[in-house]
Structure 1
Amino acid sequence: MNNTHTLVKHDPLQQIRWLTYMMFFMFAMTSDAVGMIIPELITEFDLSMTQASAFHYAPMALIAFSGLFLGFLADSFGRKQTIMLGLGLFSISCFLFAFSRNFTFFLLLLCLIGLAIGLFKTGALALLGDISTSNLEHTKTMNKVEGFFGIGAIVGPALVSFLLTQDVSWTYLYIIAGVMCLILAVLAWRADYPQVAKEANETLKPASLTTTMKMISNPYALGFSLAIALYVATEVAIYVWMPTLLADYTGSWQWLATYALTLFFILRAAGRFLAVWLLNRYSWQGVMVWLSLGIALSYVGTLLGGVNWAVVLLPLSGLFMSMVYPTLNSKGISCFAVQQHGAVAGVILFFTALSAALAPLFMGIISDLFGHIEYGFYLATGFAVLLFLAMLYNFIYDPAEHALLQTRTLDTQASEKISLKTTKV
C-alpha cells in the first residue's frame, strides 16, 4: 500500500508544483516592478507622489480583501476551480491594459489584478499544504515557491527597464504577463489536481466566510499572521524606500548604491533556494531567530552608520529575509487541517497585503513630518526588532508545536484511510 497525502501519483504532483512556481514568478513580475513604473506614471499623467503610489496600495488592498473574504473558496469551491478563476481574471485584466491610456482605468485594472492574485494565491497556498507529506516538506516547498517569486521580482523590473530603453510602453509588461497567465490557466485546466482528504477531521463544518472570520481569533492563525505582518513591514521598506534613502549616498561605492535593489532581490531569491539545505540541518525555530537577528542588526546598523552603512547593510538584509516569509507562512497553514488551508491562507494573505500597503505609507508620513526618509527607517527598525523578539519567543516556548504535530497526524491518518479504500476498490 502506498501511504501518500493525496490520491495522485508523483508525476502529476511535480507538474502541479511547477505550475505553482510559475504562478508566483508571474505575480512577482508585475507586483515588484511597480517601483519602476511609478516615475513613468508621474511624468505621463502629471501625478503627485501620493496619487502615483496608488499603483502599489490599490492592488495590495484588493489582495487583502480577496484573501480575507474569498479565501474560503479554495476550501468550499475547490483548489483547482479557485486557481482557474484567479488566473482567468488576472489574464483578462492584463490584456485590457492594451485598450486605454487612462490612469483611472489602469488603477481599476490593478484592483482586479489584486482580486485575482488573492484568489489564485490562496488556492495555490492551500494546495501546497495538501500535497506535502510532512511539515518539513511543506516548509521546503514554500521556500522554493518564494524562490521563484524572488526571481520574478528580478525579471519584472529588468523587463520594464528594457522596454523603456527601447521606447516601448511599460504596459507591455502586463501584456506579457497576461500571455504567460493564459498559458498557465490552460496547463492548470489540464492538470490532474489531487483530491483533498475530506475525512481528515469529520467534525469540521464546510468552509465559509464565517469560518474565515472565526479563524482571525484563532491564536495560531493570528499569531503567525502578525509575525508575517512584521516581516513584510521590514521587507517593503527596502524595495519601496531604500532607493530614496540611498539617493543621498556620495561615497566611493556608487555602483553598489545604483544596483542595491537588484542585489537585494538576488540575495533574497538565492537565500530561499538555500533554505532546503538549512532546514535539513537545523530546526526552523532556531533558523528564524538568527535570520531575524540579522535583519534587526541590518536596520540598527543603518540608523547608527547612516547612508554609508545602509548601502551595504540594506541589500545584505535580503539574504536574512529570504527564508522568513515562506517558513512562517507554511507553519501557519500547517497548524490547520487540510479542509481549512484555504481559509487560513486567506487570513495570512490579508495581513500580508495589509502590512505591505500600510507600512510604507506610514514610513512616508513620518518622513514627511520630520523632513527626511531616514526617520521612516526608525519605524522600520522598530518592526525588525519586534520581529526578532517574536522569533525569540517562538524559539524558547515553541507555542505551535502541539498544533503542528496534531494536524499532521490527523492528515496522515485520513490519507491512509482513503488509500486503503482506494486499494480495496
Structure 2
Amino acid sequence: MATLRIRLSLLLTYFVFAILLNSVGTVILQVIHTYQITKEAASVLEGFKDIPIAVVSFIIASYLPRLGYKTALQIALTLVTLACIMMPLIPAFWTTKLLFLTVGASFALVKVSVYASIGVVTNTKAEHASLLNFIEGGFMLGVLSGYWLFSAFMDPAAPESGSWLQVYWLLALLCLANLALLSSTPFPKLELPPAQPLKQDFIAMLQLVYKPLVFVFVLSAFLYVLIEQGIGSWLPTFNNEVLKLPNQLSVQLTSIFAASLALGRILAGVVLKKLSWYVLLNSCLLAMALLILLTLPLTRDIQHNAGVGLFTAPLAAYLFPLIGLFMAPIYPVINSVILSALPKARHAAMTGLIVVFSALGGTTGSMVTGYTFANFDGQTAFYLCLLPLSLLLLSVGLFHRQSKQVVA
C-alpha cells in the first residue's frame, strides 16, 4: 500500500509539472499577443525554464539523496504554488519569466527525485522500465490536459486579452492538493554510502560523463530534447501563423502532439516486450524524418479562413503533430537503459546529468527554432529538425554499441 501511494504521488507530481513545463509553447503564443513582444523576445521563456533546470540539477543532484526525495518534492511544489498565484495578480512579461524560472528550478528537484525514487520502489530492470514508461506516459497526459486547460481560459474574440492568466489559480490549487498527498505519503530511506563532502559527491557525478556509455547517452538525450522542444514549443505559433488558425484552435490542435507522445509511450511498453529497443528506436527515427518530408509541403500557401474550426483545419494540422507517436519511445527507453546499467545509489547523480543535458537541449532547440521562425519561416524552422535527427540516429547507434559493455 505504501509503495502504491508513493507511485501515485510521483505520478501526480509529474502530471502537474507536465502542464506547467509544456505550457511554454502556449504561453509564447499568448505573450506575443497580450504583451506585444517579438518572437525573439518570447523565445527566451524556454531559456528561463531550462537553464535553471540545468544549473540546479548540476549543483544539487548528488546531494538530493541526503536531503531526501520527499523533502525535495515538497519544496518544489511549494515554490511553484507561489509562482502560479503571482501570474494573475501581477500580469507582466517579467512575471512570466519568473514563473518559468521557478518551474525550471523546481523541476530539477522533481525530476531527479522522481527518477531516483523509481529505483527505490522497483527491483528488476523490467519493472524499472515499466514504471518509468508509465510515469512518462502520465507526464504526456499532463501535457495533453494542459493544452485544453489553457485553451478553455482563452478568449477567441480578443486574443490580446489576459483572460488566460486565470488558469493559474486552478494550477495553484492542483499543486496544493498534490502537496497534501505527498506530505501524507511515507517514503522509504535509501541506503547510502558513508557521508562525504558535497564537493566529492559533485565530482563523482561529473566523473560519470567519462564513461563512454554515459557520454554517448547524454549526447543522445541532448539531441532528442532539442528536437522535441523545438517542435513542441513552436507548434502553437506554427499553427497560428503558417496554417492561419485562431489562437485557441492553434493550442487545441497542438494537443494532438501531446496525445501522440502519450499514446506512443504506452504502445512502446507493449512493443518492447517483443522487439529490441534498438530496432524500435531506429524505426521511429526514420518514420519521423519521413513524416517531416511528406507533411511540411502541405503547409505551403494556405489561405486564411475565418470560419475554420476543429474539424475543418488544414490536413497538415492533424498530420504533422503525429510525429510525437514516433518520437515518444526514444527518451524513456534511453533513460531506462542508462539507469538500469548503474547502481541505485548513483541514480540521482545520473538523473542530474540527464536533466542538465535535456535542459540544454530544450533551450537550444527552442531558441534556434524561434530565431529561424522569425527570420525565415515556419517551414524552414521545422525542416531544420532533420539535421539533429540525423545526428541522433548516429548517436543511438553508438549508444547501442556501448550498452553491450558492462558499466563498472
TM-score, normalization by structure 2:
0.85
Aligned partner of 1:156 among 128, 146, 169:
146
Q: Structure 1 residues 390 and 312 mapped into 2: Cα distance closer, same or farther (>3 Å)? A: farther
Q: Distance in 2 between matches of 1:365 and 1:99?
A: 31
Match of 1:181 in 2: 175
Match of 2:192 in 1: 198
Q: Distance in 2 between matches of 1:306 and 1:102?
A: 34
Post-superposition CA distance 1:192-230 (Å, at most 9, x none): 21232436xx89997732223333333333221211111
Match of 2:54 in 1: 64
Q: Residue type matched to 2:179 in 1?
A: A
Post-superposition CA distance 1:135-188 (Å, at most 9, x none): 222122111111111111111121111112498732333332222222222222
Match of 2:307 in 1: none
Post-superposition CA distance 1:222-250 (Å, at most 9, x none): 22121111111221232233444454459
Report deviation, 1:257: 8.4
Q: Residue type matched to 2:224 in 1?
A: Y
Q: Structure 1 residues 225 and 313 mapped into 2: Cα distance closer, same or farther (>3 Å)? A: farther
Gaps in structure 1 of 5+ consecutive residues: 1-10, 251-255, 407-425
Match of 2:226 in 1: 233
TM-score, normalization by structure 1:
0.81
Matches within 5 A, 1:13-412: 13-165=3-155, 169-198=163-192, 208-246=201-239, 247-249=241-243, 260-302=253-295, 307=300, 311=317, 313-369=319-375, 371-395=376-400, 397=401, 399-403=402-406
Does the Cα contact within 8 Å between 1:60 and 1:354 map onto a contact in 2?
A: yes
Q: Residue type matched to 1:120 in 2?
A: V
Deviates more, 1:209-218 or 1:175-184: 209-218
Q: Distance in 2 between matches of 1:45 and 1:259?
A: 21
Report deviation, 1:311: 4.7
Q: Structure 1 residues 127 and 378 mapped into 2: Cα distance closer, same or farther (>3 Å)? A: same
**Secondary structure of the corresponding residue to residue 171 of structure 1:** helix
Report deviation, 1:305: 6.5
Report deviation, 1:99: 3.4
Q: Structure 1 residues 181 and 258 mapped into 2: Cα distance closer, same or farther (>3 Å)? A: closer
Does the Cα contact within 8 Å between 2:69 and 2:113 map onto a contact in 1?
A: yes
Does the Cα contact within 8 Å between 1:292 and 1:391 map onto a contact in 2?
A: no
Q: Residue type matched to 1:270 in 2?
A: L
Match of 1:6 in 2: none
Report deviation, 1:104: 1.6
Q: Distance in 2 between matches of 1:26 and 1:258?
A: 18
Q: Structure 1 residues 260 and 238 mapped into 2: Cα distance closer, same or farther (>3 Å)? A: farther
Alignment RMSD, CA only?
A: 2.9
Report deviation, 1:89: 1.9
Q: Structure 1 residues 37 and 210 mapped into 2: Cα distance closer, same or farther (>3 Å)? A: same
Identity of aligned residues (%): 25
Q: Distance in 2 between matches of 1:248 and 1:178?
A: 34
**Secondary structure of the corresponding residue to residue 275 of structure 2:** coil
Report deviation, 1:380: 0.8
Q: Which runs of 4+ in 1 moved over 4 A?
A: 202-207, 243-247, 256-260, 302-313
